[in-house]
Amino acid sequence: MARPFDELTKALGKTVLVRLKGDRLLRGTLASFDVHLNIILENAEELSNSEEQAIKEKYPKIMVRGDNIIFIAI
């Protein structure tokens, strides 16, 4: 049985979709994470909720605090 940290480790260097509290959506390359689920995304984009392809903002590197994360889609 796969554990969550095992799945995140496999996702390092791959593109992930992250839903945050406040109905925000980020897509980027998972660069790192810790035991608190704080994550660092590289080449991240904040997506519009009405259209998943519409980019609102771009970030070369962004750290997201784990307690703001609703889910991470790998």
Sorted by where each begins, the domain ranges of the chain are: 4-73
Q: Determine what percent of the chain is predicted with pLDDT higher than 90.
A: 84
- Kindly state the average pLDDT of the residues 44-72: 90
Note the pTM of the prediction, 2 decimals: 0.92
Closest CA to 24 of 4, 10, 6, 41: 41
pLDDT at 52 over 70: no
Topology of the domain covering 4-73:
SH3 type barrels. (2.30.30)
